[in-house]
Amino acid sequence: MPKQVVPESARRRRRRTKQGAVLSEQVIVETALRMLREHGGEGLTARRLGLALGADPSTLYRYFRGMDDLTLAIGDELIGRALDGWAPTGDWRADLRGLGLRIHRAYLAHPQAAVLTASRVSGRAREIVADEAVLGILRTAGFTDPAAVRIYHAFIDQSLAFAALDAASLALPAAARAADEEMWASTYARLPARTHPHIAATADLLAARMNDSAYPLALEMLLDSAALQRARQDAGPPSAPPDQAAGGAL
């Protein structure tokens, strides 16, 4: 049975930790982010986090129901950082592009945390704010509710999927990442046209592109599709030919 979380007003320690900090949910999340950056997901445990905070590990359970609850709070923090300073402009396409790129950057700034949290649904305040913002952009732009939900679903999943993919690459040990990046020039570029004509024909282009994230391009393709749906919605259903509308024969 999960432990009951103590309300925020009752959590604050009367004494400071060994590091001189007064514990709060935010302090714990920020410390966990630092530990993930330095040690990866396997290095984040209640014991190690307690040591880093200068507090007994059991103290964490006054703020979170468990380490999984902390994981959800970390994901919510990344979303919150993406939203910081963002405001809609009224241009739905520019607003979705800006928000998507912000989400991608916020996750890549903490790749180990992104790998841990990108697939999760926290239901926390800042995640809900982001979801409300995306749906609001689409509905305010005049998309029907079914269309708004379809595009929202694709937008959020695409943003987080690329964040997880690109973060996983950044989280690799430096030598492994360098070897992966070199593969396009060391292996693919040397494949003979006789056996691999299409790779050989595009080898230089592949080497120039494949080590960069495809997210900006994929996002533009999604926005192009959304714009096409919007245009079709404005045009309405296609009208029947005059002879069919009148019920006449060809």
pLDDT band at 164 (very low <50, low <70, confident <90, very high): very high
Domains and CATH numbers, the chain: 1-65 (1.10.10), 88-234 (1.10.357.10)
- Reduced DSSP (H G I as helix, E B as strand, rest coil) percent helix, strand, coil of the chain, to 5: 70, 0, 30
What is the value of pTM for the model shown?
Answer: 0.83
Locate all alpha helices (DSSP H) within 12-122, ordered by sequence.
25-39, 46-53, 67-83, 92-108, 111-117
Q: What integer is the mean pLDDT of 225-248?
A: 74
Q: What is the average pLDDT score of the chain?
A: 89
Write down the pLDDT at residue 17. 60
Write down the pLDDT at residue 153. 98
Write down the pLDDT at residue 64. 94
Q: Please give the structure tokens belonging to residue 34.
A: 């630092």
Distance separating alpha carbons of residues 45 and 52, to the nearest angstrom: 10
Distance separating alpha carbons of residues 29 and 26, to the nearest angstrom: 5
Q: What integer is the mean pLDDT of 176-186?
A: 95
Distance of CA 17 to the CA centre of its chain: 33
pLDDT band at 243 (very low <50, low <70, confident <90, very high): low
3-class secondary structure, 202:
helix
Write down the pLDDT at residue 131. 97
Least confident of 157-166, 180-189, 235-244: 235-244
Kindly report, residue by residue over 134-152, the tens digit of the pLDDT. Answer: 999 999 999 999 999 999 9
Kindly report, residue by residue over 57-73, the tens digit of the pLDDT. Answer: 988 989 999 999 999 99
Q: What integer is the mean pLDDT of 12-29?
A: 71
- Give percent of the chain with pLDDT exceeding 90: 79
With beta carbons less than 8 A apart as the criterion, state whether 102 and 95 touch: no
Distance of CA 13 to the CA centre of its chain: 34
With beta carbons less than 8 A apart as the criterion, state whether 206 and 184 touch: yes
pLDDT band at 3 (very low <50, low <70, confident <90, very high): very low
pLDDT at residue 37 tops 60? yes
Distance of CA 177 to the CA centre of its chain: 21
Write down the pLDDT at residue 19. 58
Least confident of 1-10, 76-85, 114-123, 201-210: 1-10
Write down the pLDDT at residue 217. 98
Tell me the residue type at 213.
S
Helices (H) and strands (E) in the chain, counts: 12, 0
pLDDT at residue 211 tops 50? yes
Write down the pLDDT at residue 122. 94
pLDDT at residue 160 tops 50? yes
Write down the pLDDT at residue 247. 47
Kindly report, residue by residue over 69-94, the tens digit of the pLDDT. Answer: 999 999 999 999 999 999 999 999 99
